[in-house]
Structure 1
Amino acid sequence: MVVLNRIYTKTGDDGTTALGTGERRPKYDLRIEAYGTVDETNAAIGVVRVHIGEMPELDAMLGRIQNDLFDLGADLAVPERQDKDKGKAERLRVVASQVERLERDIDTLNDKLAPLTSFVLPGGTPAAAHLHVARTICRRAERLIVELAAQPGEPVSAAGIQYMNRLSDFLFVASRAVNGNGSGDVLWVPGQNR
């Protein structure tokens, strides 16, 4: 259970922040940057939800994703240490079933979409434009997480990386769904302005 009685603690005034393990790291640390960008993705999805209108199925999907992103933030904030975690309570980790559910949601939305004949430019409805912003933030978070995983001594769950990869696909498909299932997509015309 999370209890937040006091919002400011002053412990970060020195430019550090605590991981879930209690270890303090500089605020520019790659792990902090990774889960901070996951949080930024979550906030962008929150903006999307304000703009999607009467699409309860998509809103429910986005709500589940927001919760999953908090799970991923918790996963990243408490790096798994093989030698230190033995005998401790199981930490919250993103799991394969969350990735699988996201894949099912992508398939559900994609089944209704018009065939794609060109790359799609970010735009269309306000909700679609915001979904594209969320997608690009998600891709940045994914790049940071993959970079973190490549660092010695910085474990990252494979399911967390997979989740972010699928999430960017979901956000793309969702942008087409809110653009009239693809009929309102703004398509790229190569060399149009030469």
Structure 2
Amino acid sequence: MKIYTKTGDKGTTGLLGGSRVSKGHLRIETYGTVDELNSYIGLLRDQEVLVLKSEELIEIQNNLFVIGSSLASEATKAKVNIPKLNEYSVSELERAIDSMDEELPVMKHFVLPGGNHSVSFCHIARCVCRRAERLVVTLSESDTVDVLVIKYLNRLSDYLFTLSRWMAKRLGVEETPWMPSK
């Protein structure tokens, strides 16, 4: 199978279901952002401090592929069976957040991103996740989107924030609190 098809040379791409849309279409921007997020999760998985979280991160990456498939398909015309998210995926993120949170000091201030490359990568992933969530919400205002996609991305951004704090603790990096000027 060749990697190139030449079908997108005029600025369109195909959805699962057969329709062709502009590569600038909101749906394409949305699942492209989910793909970008998946790549950042892969970068996180490569961080030595996250060896213990490797399987968890692979599961998240698999779920992001499920989300991408859902966003790339036309609900009414899909010719292929698209995998679906389930509530268990969301509850697994919540379980992981709670588990990490037990090891962390109580947050008294917002935390400035940074302090270590690995922690910073996690904050970037969190920001991309929030962007993906915003795009999915916007898409849902004009097209059919599985409500669990929004819920999962919302919880995933919470997971990534907690993971950044967990990483900082494991790496001995002091968090920098946000202290607004008076």
TM-score range, shorter chain: over 0.9
In structure 2, stretches of 5+ residues that fail to align are none
Tell me the percent identity: 44
Q: Is the 8 A contact 2:35 2:68 kept in 1?
A: yes
Number of paired residues?
Answer: 181
1:75 is the counterpart of 2:70: yes
What's the TM-score, normalizing by structure 1? 0.87
In structure 1, stretches of 5+ residues that fail to align are none
2:83 alignment counterpart: 92
Moved over 4 A (4+): none
Aligned residue among 132, 137, 141 for 1:146: 137
Measure the CA separation in 2 of the matches of 1:50 and 1:90. Answer: 31
2:150 alignment counterpart: 161
1:185 alignment counterpart: 175
Q: Is the 8 A contact 2:49 2:167 kept in 1?
A: no
Measure the CA separation in 2 of the matches of 1:79 and 1:92. Answer: 13
The Cα shift of 1:54 comes to 4.2
Deviations 1:22-68 (A, max 9, x none): 211100111111100000111111112222x1433322211111111
Aligned residue among 140, 151, 160 for 1:171: 160
The Cα shift of 1:90 comes to 4.2
Query: Aligned to 2:103, what secondary structure does the other structure show?
Result: coil
Q: Is the 8 A contact 2:17 2:80 kept in 1?
A: no
2:41 alignment counterpart: 45
Higher mean C-alpha displacement, 162-171 vs 120-129: 120-129
What's the TM-score, normalizing by structure 2? 0.92
1:26 alignment counterpart: 22
Q: Is the 8 A contact 2:90 2:155 kept in 1?
A: yes
The Cα shift of 1:6 comes to 1.1
The Cα shift of 1:79 comes to 3.0
Q: Is the 8 A contact 1:16 1:26 kept in 2?
A: yes
Q: State the Cα RMSD in Å.
A: 1.8
1:103 is the counterpart of 2:103: no
